[in-house]
Every structure is written in C-alpha cells, then in structure tokens.
Amino acid sequence: MEQEDISNYTKVCVTGGSGYIGSWLVKKLLQKGYTVHATLRNLDEKPKVELLRSLPNADTRLVLFQADIYNPTEFEPAIRSSNTSEAAIASARIIANSCVRSQTVKWLIYTASVMSSSPLKEDGSGYKPSFNESSWTSLNLSYTLSNDVFLAYIKSKTLAEKEVSSYNEIEYSKLEVVSLACALAISHTMPA
C-alpha cells in the first residue's frame, strides 16, 4: 500500500521560527511541502522576517505570527518571581496547553537540551544500568567546575522538559510530545 503524502495538507507550527534551529526547521518543512506557521518575538525585526520570507515556498506556505513568550500579561507569575525555572516551565506549559486546546495538533516536537538528561544515578554514585527518556539530570548534585548560573540553566532545562513530557501521560490528550535534545548545533548559516 502506498503511503499517503500528508505534507500537502498538514500545518506545522514552529515556535522561535527565526532562531538558528527554528529557521532550519522552517526551511526543511517548506521544502517538504508543509504549510508552516512560525512564531517570532517581533515581526518588526526586518532581517529575521525577510530571511524567512525569502525561503523557497514561503510565499505560499509560510504564515508568520508575532508571539513573545515573555509577554508580561501571559507570563506575569513566572516573570514576577524572576525565577528562570518557573519561566521555562510556564513557557513549556503554555505551548503544550495551546496544542491540547487546539484539538488539531498531534505532535509537539520540543527542542530540548542534553543538559536535562544524564546517565548518572540520582545520588551521583555511579551510572544507571540503562539510559533512556527517564534518565533525568539529578538536581540534587553539585557538579565540578559549575557555578550558580550553570546550575540554574540545568535546573530550568530539566524541569521544563519534565513538564512538557508529562503531557504524554495525560489520558484525554491526543498530543504526543517528542523531545529533540540538542547538544551542539553546527552548520553553515542560512544565506540571507
């Protein structure tokens, strides 16, 4: 049986569409024939908008939306606390909840960080026998050569990914969350 090409009628939303990874995702999705809804923090940033609009098929398959994840009216509790972890968790939750409420989004691809996963045991006494999606970085350990900023980064990335991954466990939700844990993104820059 021939597999049906769903790209011709599938819409994909890419948050952070003007970022390094986001812009490459937009480009690849457009090349594959998908309709892409991309969010940018500010549609008045002409270089970012022009870069995305210059991509092949953007004229017919790209829709840009202004969506600032740090909009104080939407994220007031997290921002008021000035807590990086709370802001990261709130951002992940708002995006996932929007996907669930839409009742049309089937997959949420979450661009995560390898900092949220670790083969170390919770107490740091050795390594876990296997390494999989449940191998979270322990937030109770201190790490050699780390500082408060580094530890806050690890905490925010780990807690945000745990939050968004928890949507896989919600029975009534038809949303499947997949984490793409990026360690280092190296490539040539996208031509303007």
Residue 86 has pLDDT above 80, yes or no: no
Question: Cα–Cα distances in Å, from 80 out to 72, 74, 84, 118, 160?
Answer: 9, 11, 11, 31, 18
Q: Which range, 75-84, 148-157, 178-187, is most confident?
A: 148-157
Residue length of the chain:
192
Q: Is the pLDDT of residue 56 over 70?
A: yes
pLDDT tier, 48 (very low <50, low <70, confident <90, very high otherwise): very high
Tens digit of each residue's pLDDT (9 = 90 or more) over 25-34: 999 999 999 9
45 pLDDT band (50/70/90 cuts)? Answer: very high
pTM of the predicted structure, to 2 decimals: 0.67
Higher pLDDT: 52 or 139? It is 52
Domain-wise residue ranges, the chain: 7-113+158-182
CA distances from 56 to 14, 21, 24, 52, 191 (A): 17, 17, 12, 9, 12
pLDDT digit string, tens, across residues 167-186: 998 877 788 998 888 777 77
What is the rounded distance in angstroms from the CA atom of residue 72 to the CA atom of residue 91? 12
157 catalytic per annotation: yes
Please name the fold of domain 7-113+158-182: Rossmann fold (3.40.50)
Catalytically annotated residue among 27, 48, 155, 157: 157
